[in-house]
Amino acid sequence: MKKYILLLMVALIFVSCTSKTPYTNRSQMILMSESEELSLGEKSYNQALEQLEVIKNTYNANRVKQIGERIAAVSDKKDYEWEFSLVKNDAANAFCLPGGKVVVFTGILKYAKNDDQLATVISHEIAHALARHGAERVSMSKVKSGIGTIGNIVLTGIGSPYSNVFNQAYGITTQFGVMLPYGRMHEHEADEIGIILMKKAGYNISEALNFWSNMSQNSKGNVEFFSTHPSSENRITHIKEIITRIEG
C-alpha cells in the first residue's frame, strides 16, 4: 500500500510541475519555482561578472544593450529585470541566465557581422531563458538523482536545494556563467523561439542563416560557441524550415 501511495504522490508531483514552453507549446516538467530560478540567476550573474571584464559605453556595448532591449520588449516577460553586458573575451560565446541576464563575449562579434546577426545571437540566448531550459535541465538532473530527493524538494521546500545542481547545469563555477551544452531539442527550440522574437522585434530573420553560416565556416577552429551550442548542417536546414513557415 505504501508503494502505491508513493507512486501516486510522484504522479501528482509530476502533473503539478508540468508547464508549457512559450511559442512552441511543448510540455515540460520543471520542479523549480520560477521565483527561485530568478533568484539563483541573479546571484550567479553577479558572480560571473566579478570574473569578467565588462565593457561599458562603447559602440559595441551600446549595440548589445539596444538590440537586447528591443528583443526583450517583445518577450512578454515583465517580471524579468533585463540586463545586457558585453564582456572582453576572445571566445565566440554568449549566454543568458534566468531573469534576463544576458552576456555577450566580444569574440562573437566577428561572426555576427551586422545588427540582425547579433540579434540572432541575443534572441537565441533569451529564448533559452524564456523556455526555462536551464530549470528543465536542473529538474531532469534531480529526477535522475532519485524520486526520494524529488519528494523532499517539492514537498518540504527546504532551503535552496537547487543551488549546487543549478551551478553545475549552468557551469557557473568553471565557465564564468556559461551553460554546459544543451541537447539538440533545446537548441532547435531556442532557434525557433529566437527567430520568432527577432521577427516580432523587426529584425531580418534571414540573417540568422548568414550568422550560422559564418559560425559553421569556422567550426573547425577553436570556436568556444560550439562547445556550448551544438551545431551541424541540420541546424541551418531546420532554421530554413522555420523561416519558410514564419514568412509563409
Of 53-67, 150-164, 172-186, 192-206, the least confident? 150-164
pLDDT of residue 115: 98
pTM of the entire predicted model? 0.80
What percent of the chain has pLDDT above 70?
71
**pLDDT band at residue 134 using 50, 70 and 90 as cut-offs:** confident
pLDDT of residue 144: 61
Residues sharing a CB contact under 8 Å with residue 22, sequence separation 6 or more, in sequence order: 76, 130, 131, 193
**pLDDT band at residue 100 using 50, 70 and 90 as cut-offs:** very high
Residues sharing a CB contact under 8 Å with residue 158, sequence separation 6 or more, in sequence order: 152
Query: In this model, does residue 230 exceed pLDDT 80?
Result: no
What percent of the chain has pLDDT above 90?
47
Query: In this model, does residue 91 exceed pLDDT 60?
Result: yes
Q: Give the mean model confidence (pLDDT) for residues 91-119.
A: 94
Residues sharing a CB contact under 8 Å with residue 124, sequence separation 6 or more, in sequence order: 190, 191, 194, 229
Three cell numbers, residue 52: 569578467
If 0-12 CB within 10 Å is exposed, 13-18 middle and 19+ buried, where does residue 109 land?
A: middle
pLDDT of residue 162: 52
pLDDT of residue 196: 97
**Average per-residue pLDDT for the chain:** 80
Query: In this model, does residue 102 exceed pLDDT 90?
Result: yes
Domain map (residue ranges) of the chain: 19-247
pLDDT in tens, 26-75: 999 888 888 888 888 888 888 889 889 999 999 999 999 999 999 999 99
pLDDT of residue 182: 64
pLDDT in tens, 109-130: 999 999 999 999 999 999 999 9
